[in-house]
Amino acid sequence: MNVILGVGGGIAAYKAAELARLLGEQGARVQVVMTRAAREFVKPLTFAALTGRKVITDLFPRHESDGALDSAIEHISVAQENDALVVAPATADLLAKFAAGIADDFLTTLYLAFTGPVVLAPAMNSNMWRHPATQANLERLRARGHTIVGPDEGELACGMTGPGRLAEPARIAGAVMSVSAPRRDLEGETVLVTAGPTEEPIDPVRFLSNRSSGKMGYALARRALDRGARVILVSGPVHVPPPEGAELVRVCTAAEMREAVMERLEEATVIIKAAAVADYHVPVVPEQKMKKTMTRLSLELEPTPDILAEVGRKKGDRLLIGFAAETENLVAEARRKLRSKNCDMVVANLVGPGGAGFGSDENEVTLVLRTGETIQVPKASKLEIADAILDQVLPLRLALHAAQ
Ligand code: CTP
């Protein structure tokens, strides 16, 4: 396997040397590309010694008097010869350039020419990480299907404590190995994913909703596509860009989501209900905006249709995966939902204080299977969690067939 390791200009550049070594240990041939800024932190010689290959630094090397044409197209051949591109540390500047498609040096030009899987391991100061510009760039990169590993929280070189540390090199190497040997295990499957919150109108301008960002469902759709499935994504209102290749059905209310799911149920072989469906709605929505009065206001709410339960009744031999967001008794509650809604697996996560999940890019879940097994998935990016969930599709199907 051939891997390009792009090294950006940050204090963490020295850790990329460890990553180069680990990738080599896994049997990868590593071609290092360093940005000009990276060379301020680490000497190319370090990487050349570790990988046994010349490090690429410039788009137009000055010392090659007659080599301008060769080097000008070298980024194309490097792009074609390699199976994966990993960038560590991915600085805020590199993320911005990748997101915008700016190609002003070897690494950014190579990024545009490269069509294989991309792993980005960001590292920067916490404020730069949290900046809306950086977060918006990440969303765009994620929507392209790139794997983002980290950053970790902790003490940073600038003296601050917070998110921004480069993820452990072993974790980055693991992500590279998993994306470069793409599994096409879901070819032939049609995966119907629901994602995001629903919005239940109170009047023409107000609604009831929840904090779901849709990121978990979108990550599932992304990975199912990568693994060869056809994907129908029924999504409530969210701000994340839809994964390219998914058949997107936008809905607003629980009733609309139910209708969309029931309409497409026949086509699906796997249904994953990651949406945070509102449990209640206002049955009769006034046509005009409600006026403020100085007295108390009570809203009369009715339960929304339980889509998961209905799919559970009609699913036949389709695989049904539900979600359970709990604040306590995680596994017991997930088991109860699994049985009462006839699911094949429930993805349980702890929400509220102490829990990851809503809105975050990371999650930590327990998979509760119909077979009685529980699988703990430690804190990881939502794309990695999505893979852990999808890893259960084929084994579950086999187990269910065997039980029939
Ligand atoms: N769900 C659904 N339709 C609803 C409510 C929830 O399909 N009207 C689905 C969600 O998509 C999720 C699962 O049910 O897959 C569990 O959602 P959760 O809110 O945890 O559970 P509830 O069934 O609402 O139970 P409770 O609120 O009692 O925990």
Q: Which atom of ligand 1 is nearest to the CA of 325?
A: 20
Q: Is 252 a catalytic residue?
A: no
Contacts of 123 (CB under 8 A, 6+ apart): 10, 11, 12, 88, 89, 90, 91, 150, 151, 164, 165, 166
pLDDT of residue 226: 87
- Residue 318 Cα, ligand 1 centroid: separation in angstroms? 19
Which of these, 387, 17, 74, 16, lies nearest to 216 by C-alpha position? 387
Mean predicted confidence (pLDDT) in 146-166: 86
Take residue 47 and report the two structure tokens written for it.
Answer: 């990487």
Mean predicted confidence (pLDDT) in 365-382: 90
Question: Of the residues 192, 270, 306, which should be mutated to test ligand 1's pocket, given the most ligand atoms within 8 Å of the CB?
Answer: 306
CA-nearest residue for atom 21, ligand 1, is 324
pLDDT band at 67 (very low <50, low <70, confident <90, very high): very low
Mean predicted confidence (pLDDT) in 329-336: 95
- Ligand 1 site: residues with CB under 6 angstroms? 254, 273, 275, 277, 279, 304-308, 322-325, 337
- Residue 199 Cα, ligand 1 centroid: separation in angstroms? 15
- Residue 270 Cα, ligand 1 centroid: separation in angstroms? 18
pLDDT tens digits, residue range 171-225? 899 889 878 776 788 999 999 999 999 999 999 999 999 999 999 999 999 989 9
How is 171-210 classified by DSSP, letter by letter?
HHHHHHHHHHS---TTTT-EEEEEESB--EEEETTEEE--
The mean pLDDT of the chain is: 90
Which has more confidence, 27 or 72?
27
Q: What is the 3-state secondary structure (H, E, C) of 117-146?
A: CEEEEECCCHHHHHCHHHHHHHHHHHHCCC
pLDDT tens digits, residue range 242-263? 888 899 999 999 999 999 999 9
- Residue 308 Cα, ligand 1 centroid: separation in angstroms? 7
For residue 35, give Cα distances in angstroms to 46, 87, 224, 328.
15, 11, 34, 48
Catalytically annotated residue among 102, 158, 252, 400: 158
pLDDT at 62 over 60: no
- Residue 223 Cα, ligand 1 centroid: separation in angstroms? 23
- Residue 310 Cα, ligand 1 centroid: separation in angstroms? 12
- Residue 350 Cα, ligand 1 centroid: separation in angstroms? 14
CA–CA dist 101, 111 (Å, integer): 8
CA-nearest residue for atom 6, ligand 1, is 277
CA-nearest residue for atom 3, ligand 1, is 306
pTM of the predicted model, to two decimals?
Answer: 0.69
pLDDT at 107 over 60: yes
Query: What distance, in Å, lies between the first and last C-alpha atoms of the chain?
Result: 41
- Do residues 92 and 134 lie in contact, with contact meaning Cβ atoms separated by under 8 Å? yes
Angle of helix 15-25 versus helix 44-51 axis, rounded to 10 = 10
HSE-CB for 318 with a 13 A CA cutoff: 23
pLDDT of residue 68: 40
pLDDT at 401 over 90: no
Q: Which atom of ligand 1 is nearest to the CA of 324?
A: 20
pLDDT of residue 131: 97
Q: How many residues appear in the chain?
A: 404
- Do residues 345 and 370 lie in contact, with contact meaning Cβ atoms separated by under 8 Å? yes
pLDDT at 153 over 70: yes
State residue 172 phi and psi, 5-degree precision. -65, -45
Contacts of 392 (CB under 8 A, 6+ apart): 345, 367, 369, 375
Q: Which atom of ligand 1 is nearest to the CA of 322?
A: 15
Question: Of the residues 301, 337, 346, 368, which should be mutated to test ligand 1's pocket, given the most ligand atoms within 8 Å of the CB?
Answer: 337
pLDDT at 327 over 50: yes
pLDDT at 13 over 80: yes
Mean predicted confidence (pLDDT) in 90-114: 96
Domains and CATH numbers, the chain: 2-180 (3.40.50.1950), 190-283+295-403 (3.40.50.10300)
Which of these, 190, 196, 177, lies nearest to 245 by C-alpha position? 190
pLDDT at 318 over 90: yes
CA-nearest residue for atom 9, ligand 1, is 308
pLDDT tens digits, residue range 226-244? 899 999 999 999 998 888 8
Which has more confidence, 352 or 121?
121
pLDDT band at 69 (very low <50, low <70, confident <90, very high): very low
pLDDT tens digits, residue range 262-282? 999 999 999 999 999 999 999
26 Cα distance to chain centroid: 24
- Do residues 142 and 148 lie in contact, with contact meaning Cβ atoms separated by under 8 Å? yes
- Residue 277 Cα, ligand 1 centroid: separation in angstroms? 6
Residue listed under structure tokens 């059905």: 249
Residue listed under structure tokens 């109108």: 201
